[in-house]
């Protein structure tokens, strides 16, 4: 069996066995097959859903190509955020500087698409060749009359987390520049929801039904003008804690807007989020309306959960997700389905996150930080997992192992947030776990021998030997 990288031993933890705290929040070891991305990626995914802004990647073509329309962040209006704009830096630009190209690209794009604002993403080599991106942005901003904002997202600066911070700093330049008149006292911003599969719309609807004004969602289905006046809201709800806490802190510091960390994954967390919001406003009538929203929807959810649970009870799940807050919610949601989480990991959790994760997981659960395919495969087999929850890089690994998969990353196409999302989640998990395909997987088919009680013979029960190379 494959060992864990020696330098990574402290980044893996088994509840009940390991005495030490999990080491996290550190750079990936050189030479490891990390599932993590870079600062640029972090910035790009956070700002990308602002759909009436221009997003120009200043660098060689790859950075723009790999982030072109890859997130399922839906826009109810403009679609220009889904196009791929790049300065496509060439060798001569690297030698002589890319500033003229950046200037021309920006002016050309602004004339073509007339965006409300522009973000310019700085990539690794821009940081090295010394382009004064800031100066170009200022100049174009002056000439074109829109905000042109540099995002300091050079990839080498760190993991996605560093990029989140750069994105927050960039978008913060818009906050506080709009007119806040007419905003209700009972109003919120939702931070850290990206409207994947329309989730922001769903969550917004809950609050609107309760009579709470949503001033802006950052950044799901985002609009520049909404962000400009977001400082007029009374409260910030922070969902994806990793990406947006920094922005919430800035708004708290400068505008005195308090923040609450919430999650809209799973019925417990969604209900808690609504009640906590209501309790902030100390208004009895709001509480009643929150109860209505919750109970009305729970009526639809419960029968679905019961049906799924009947089939899924006792099944084991592994999850490997970007941020820790999502992991907490998933552990709870899986429990609602009668499933046990036996492996939980994140790319970017911090100490506090892992403490909490350890608390909510059962004994024996393996907890990993910044993992790799071999480790994940090893634990999945050891724990005999039935379901894997992860992102694009994990999906084929799960399938190769003959394990059901649920995409809980930004490439998912099904809304998984809120009450309706829990129904979708239950259906998706059930459909995937109960799919007939898994019983034909040789590893599993071999386990249920032909003739053993209750076992269906699988066609893959051939004797195990090396298949000759064709």
Partner 1 sequence: MLDGTNATVCERTALRINPAKTCQPIGAMYAALGIHGCMPHSHGSQGCCAYHRSHLTRHFKEPVVATTSSFTEGASVFGGLSNMTTALSNIFSIYDPEVVAVHTTCLSEVIGDDLPMMIKKNIAEGKIPEGKHVIHANTPSFVGSHVTGFSTMVKNTIKYLSDKTGETSDSVNILPGYVDPSDMRELKRIAAELGVKITMLPDTSDVLDQPQTGVYTMYPRGGTKVSEIQAMGDAIATLACGDFASKEAAEELEKKCNVPFSLIDLPIGLKGTDTFIDTLRRMAAVPVPASITLERGRLLDLISDMSQYFHGKKVALFGDPDHVVGVTQLLVEIGMIPTVVITGTPGKRFERKVAEIVSKVSPDAHIEANADIHKLHQIIKNRKVDLLMGNTYGKHVARAEGNLPFVRFGFPIMDRTGHRLFPLVGYRGAMYYLDKILDQLFDKADREVPEELFELIQ
In the structure, how many helices (H) and strands (E) does the chain have?
A: 18, 14
Residue 130, interface with partner 1 (CB under 8 A)? no
* CA dist list (Å): 323 to 14, 116, 263, 348, 350: 19, 30, 12, 6, 9
**What part of residues 167-206 is at the interface with partner 1 (CB under 8 A)?**
none
387 beta partners: 317, 404
Residue 84, interface with partner 1 (CB under 8 A)? yes
Residue 280, interface with partner 1 (CB under 8 A)? no
Residue 91, interface with partner 1 (CB under 8 A)? yes
> Interface with partner 1 by CB under 8 A: which range of 53-61, 284-292, 293-301, 332-340?
53-61
Q: State the number of binding residues for partner 1 (CB under 8 A).
A: 86
**What part of residues 143-172 is at the interface with partner 1 (CB under 8 A)?**
155-159
Task: State the Cα–Cα distance between residues 411 and 31, nearest whole angstrom.
Answer: 27
Q: Which of residues 110, 117, 125, 174 is near partner 1 by CB under 8 A?
A: 125
Show the tokens assigned to 174.
């818009």
Q: Which of residues 14, 61, 146, 173 is near partner 1 by CB under 8 A?
A: 61
Q: Which of residues 100, 296, 303, 457 is near partner 1 by CB under 8 A?
A: 100
Residue 10, interface with partner 1 (CB under 8 A)? no
> What's the longest Cα–Cα distance across the chain?
79
Residue 318, interface with partner 1 (CB under 8 A)? no
> Interface with partner 1 by CB under 8 A: which range of 5-13, 165-173, 236-244, 279-287?
5-13
Residue 218, interface with partner 1 (CB under 8 A)? no
The CB-of-65 to partner 1 minimum distance in angstroms stands at: 4
| Closest CA relative to residue 108, chosen from 59, 143, 149, 61 | 143
| Residue among 87 and 277 whose Cβ is closer to partner 1 | 87
| Residue among 106 and 331 whose Cβ is closer to partner 1 | 106
Q: What character string, x for contact with partner 1 (CB under 8 A) and - otherwise, covers 242-271?
A: ------------------------------
Place of tokens 């929850």: 389
**What part of residues 442-461 is at the interface with partner 1 (CB under 8 A)?**
442-444, 446
The CB-of-114 to partner 1 minimum distance in angstroms stands at: 9
Q: Which of residues 400, 435, 456, 457 is near partner 1 by CB under 8 A?
A: 400
The 10 Å Cβ neighbour count of residue 302 is: 15
DSSP H helical ranges for 367-437: 373-382, 395-401, 418-433
Q: Which of residues 12, 24, 41, 47 is near partner 1 by CB under 8 A?
A: 41
Strands 404-407 and 387-390: parallel
Prior bond to 219 cis, omega within 30? yes
Residue 432, interface with partner 1 (CB under 8 A)? no
* Beta-carbon contacts of residue 217 (< 8 Å; ≥ 6 apart): 189, 190, 193, 195, 200, 203, 204, 226
Return the HEC string of 216-283.
EEEECCECHHHHHCHHHCCEEEECCHHHHHHHHHHHHHHHCCCEEECCCECHHHHHHHHHHHHHHHCC
Place of tokens 């910035």: 43
Cβ pair 405, 393 in contact under 8 A: no
30-45 as b/e: b if 16+ CB within 10 A: eebebbbbbbbbbbbb
Q: Which of residues 24, 37, 110, 151 is near partner 1 by CB under 8 A?
A: 37
Cβ pair 116, 146 in contact under 8 A: yes
| Residue among 194 and 419 whose Cβ is closer to partner 1 | 194
Residue 397, interface with partner 1 (CB under 8 A)? yes
The CB-of-132 to partner 1 minimum distance in angstroms stands at: 16
Task: State the Cα–Cα distance between residues 48 and 147, nearest whole angstrom.
Answer: 16
Task: State the Cα–Cα distance between residues 296 and 269, nearest whole angstrom.
Answer: 16
| Residue among 291 and 443 whose Cβ is closer to partner 1 | 443
Cβ pair 231, 216 in contact under 8 A: no
Residue 25, interface with partner 1 (CB under 8 A)? no
Is the dihedral angle over the CA atoms 194, 239, 117, 92 positive or is it negative? negative
Coil vs helix vs strand at 311: helix
Task: State the Cα–Cα distance between residues 216 and 220, nearest whole angstrom.
Answer: 9
Q: Which of residues 10, 15, 18, 94 is near partner 1 by CB under 8 A?
A: 94
The CB-of-48 to partner 1 minimum distance in angstroms stands at: 14
Residue 118, interface with partner 1 (CB under 8 A)? no
> Interface with partner 1 by CB under 8 A: which range of 205-213, 295-303, 395-403, 415-423?
395-403
Residue 2, interface with partner 1 (CB under 8 A)? yes
The CB-of-277 to partner 1 minimum distance in angstroms stands at: 34
| Residue among 313 and 437 whose Cβ is closer to partner 1 | 437
Q: Which of residues 22, 46, 109, 330 is near partner 1 by CB under 8 A?
A: 109
The alpha carbon of residue 248 and the mean position of all alpha carbons in its chain are separated, in whole angstroms, by 17
> Interface with partner 1 by CB under 8 A: which range of 76-84, 272-280, 418-426, 448-456?
76-84
> Interface with partner 1 by CB under 8 A: which range of 10-18, 125-133, 283-291, 312-320?
125-133
Residue 90, interface with partner 1 (CB under 8 A)? yes
């Amino acid at each position: 069996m494959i060992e864990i990288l020696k330098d990574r031993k402290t980044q893996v933890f088994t509840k009940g066995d390991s005495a030490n705290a999990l080491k996290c929040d550190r750079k990936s070891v050189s030479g490891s097959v990390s599932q993590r991305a870079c600062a640029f990626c972090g910035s790009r995914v956070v700002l990308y859903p602002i759909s009436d802004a221009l997003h120009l990647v200043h660098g060689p073509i790859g950075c723009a190509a790999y982030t072109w329309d890859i997130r399922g962040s839906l826009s109810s209006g403009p679609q220009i955020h889904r196009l791929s704009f790049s300065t496509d830096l060439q060798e001569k630009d690297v030698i002589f500087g890319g500033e003229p190209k950046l200037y021309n690209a920006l002016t050309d794009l602004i004339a073509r698409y007339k965006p409300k604002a522009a973000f310019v993403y700085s990539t690794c080599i821009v940081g090295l060749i010394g382009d004064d991106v800031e100066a170009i942005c200022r100049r174009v901003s002056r000439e074109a009359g829109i905000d042109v904002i540099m995002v300091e997202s050079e990839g080498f600066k760190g993991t996605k987390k560093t990029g989140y911070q750069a994105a927050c700093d960039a978008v913060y330049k818009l906050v506080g520049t709009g007119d806040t008149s007419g905003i209700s006292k009972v109003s919120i911003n939702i931070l850290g929801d990206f409207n994947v599969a329309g989730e922001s719309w769903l969550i917004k609807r809950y609050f609107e039904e309760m009579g709470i004004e949503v001033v802006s969602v950052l950044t799901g289905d985002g609009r520049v003008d909404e962000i400009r006046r977001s400082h007029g809201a009374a409260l910030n709800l922070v969902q994806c804690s990793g990406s947006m806490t920094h922005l919430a802190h800035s708004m708290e510091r400068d505008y005195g807007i308090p923040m609450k960390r919430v999650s809209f994954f799973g019925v417990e967390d969604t209900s808690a989020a609504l009640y906590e919001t209501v309790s902030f406003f100390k208004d009895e009538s709001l509480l009643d309306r929150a109860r209505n929203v919750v109970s009305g929807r729970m009526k639809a959810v419960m029968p679905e959960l019961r049906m799924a649970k009947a089939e899924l009870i006792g099944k084991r799940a592994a999850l490997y997700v970007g941020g820790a807050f999502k992991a907490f919610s998933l552990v709870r949601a899986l429990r609602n389905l009668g499933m046990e989480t036996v492996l939980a990991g994140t790319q970017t959790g911090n100490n506090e996150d892992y403490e909490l994760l350890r608390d909510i997981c059962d004994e024996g659960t393996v907890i990993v930080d910044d993992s790799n395919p071999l480790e994940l495969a090893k634990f999945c087999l050891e724990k005999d997992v039935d379901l894997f929850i992860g992102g694009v890089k994990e999906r084929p690994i799960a399938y190769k192992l003959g394990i059901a998969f649920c995409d809980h990353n930004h490439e998912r196409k099904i809304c998984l947030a809120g009450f309706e999302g829990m129904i979708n989640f239950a259906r998706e998990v059930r459909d995937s776990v109960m799919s007939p395909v898994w019983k034909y997987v040789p590893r599993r088919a071999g386990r249920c021998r032909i003739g053993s009680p209750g076992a269906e013979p699988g066609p893959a029960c051939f004797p195990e030997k090396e298949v000759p190379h064709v």
